Structure 1
Amino acid sequence: MFGQPTPTVLALGALGAVSGIHLWAQWTGVDAVSDPTQPVLMALLALALWTATSAPRSRLVRLTLVALAFSWLGDTAPRFVDGDAAFLLMVGFFALAQVAYVVAFRPYADQSVLAINRIALTPYAVAVVLLVAICAPGAGGMLVPVLVYGALLGTMAVLATGLGRLIWVGGALFLVSDGLIAIDAFAENVTIGHSSFWVMLTYIVAQVLIVLGVLERAGDPSS
């Protein structure tokens, strides 16, 4: 991120440090460290995006900031409730984050696989169908909200292919991250070692790549 303002560099540096500490805590199971560091992650990423851009910020930047805000709520709010309510709260806020990303990426649909190469939609469709098949038997009353969220997530990942390599990979990793959450929560007889670590690793990298991709396009008047 050469040439970025000092506050942006500091925010990204802090994000790298906190991410390393958080991921170490997830791997080793130190909840006393992973719990308080998780809400800091998206706050620092949003700060980096905010300070790297100036008013009037583009539509793409503004909606990405909204998505990061809802992601922060998804990371933070569930810790104040228990059980199914916590999971639904997380899904609800992240669903709103996906809506913001879908709205942000929709103007670029004509540059995505939807318009250019529909055969490339196959991996996304297969991934979503497999996740549903694996998780549906154990989802119970959560099945409908999980299906709705899955549809939003898949739509976001497909539309992300229209905004360049960074956002495309970020969208795909977001799909992987939340797929791991669903498998860990609902799949019967499936165990993923250090699942929280892999979820957070793919989630952090996904969001960072999306923001870096947005910054690449920040100077585009049509963005």
Structure 2
Amino acid sequence: MRHRAGSAGPLAPLFAAAVVVHLVAQLAGAGTVAAVSQWSLMPLLAAAFVAAVGVDRLVLLALGFSWLGDTVPALFADDTRFLAMVGLFLCAQVAYIAAFLPSWRRSALRRPALLAYLAAFGVLLAACAPGAGGLLVPVVVYGVCLALMAVLATGVHPLTGIGGALFFVSDGLIALDAFASWYAPPAPGFWVMLTYTAGQALIVAGVVRARRRALGFAA
């Protein structure tokens, strides 16, 4: 017996609209609008995910910790702020790892493509380590979990794999901005949030398609 597929309805367009508002605010330097719109992103994405396929505790946990990572660090300053962000997003990566682990045999973990992820992690670490100072250990721990999440995401669905890679790029840009003195692009927050929101959306879209395929719907 086939299950009836759910629909995200207006929630996916609402998420997309919130992303556009946030990115425009980043480019315009409208800090208050950027902050407020960022608070809405992960709740809207989580609501769209639940509407589409129902409750997946691990994915929702990852989105929940991502939302905390988007909001809670603003309560702190300097190194404490950075550590709060790293700690909360580390929890999000662990939740994603647990969600993707059942599909590890189909992932890049067992393929030559793994070398590309290892190389990317190595280059990022080499670029950031000299400036990380006392934060080097938490940065390395987070980086390992982030890279593992991105690798395991490739086993779920192609969209999830792309999303995991974009999430890796987003956090890599944050690390470069924090620790590499030579890194000074225009509007750095825009590029971080563009890759972050696209990465999260593609991860969720891939999980939705994989879940529907497993339940017998057309992906």
| TM-score normalised to structure 2 length | 0.92
Match of residue 51 from structure 1: 51
1:96 aligns to 2:91 (yes or no):
yes
Match of residue 123 from structure 2: 130
Number of residue pairs matched by the alignment = 210
After TM superposition, the structure 1 = structure 2 runs for residues 50-199 of structure 1, keeping only pairs within 5 Å, are 50-54=50-54, 57=55, 61-115=56-110, 117=111, 119-199=112-192
Match of residue 34 from structure 1: 34
Q: Distance in 2 between matches of 1:208 and 1:64?
A: 12
Match of residue 211 from structure 1: 204
Please tell me the root mean square deviation across aligned C-alpha atoms, in Å: 1.3
Residue 41 of structure 2 aligns with an amino acid whose one-letter code is: L
Q: Distance in 1 between matches of 2:117 and 2:172?
A: 12
Cα deviation for residue 190 of structure 1 reads: 2.0
Identity of aligned residues (%): 49
Cα deviation for residue 84 of structure 1 reads: 1.0
Structure 1 unaligned residues grouped into runs of 5+: none
Q: Distance in 2 between matches of 1:76 and 1:137?
A: 28
| TM-score normalised to structure 1 length | 0.91
The answer as to whether partners of 1:135 and 1:188 remain within 8 angstroms in 2 is: no
Cα deviation for residue 147 of structure 1 reads: 0.5
- CA deviation map 1:112-140 (0-9, x unaligned): 1222x2x2111111111111111111111
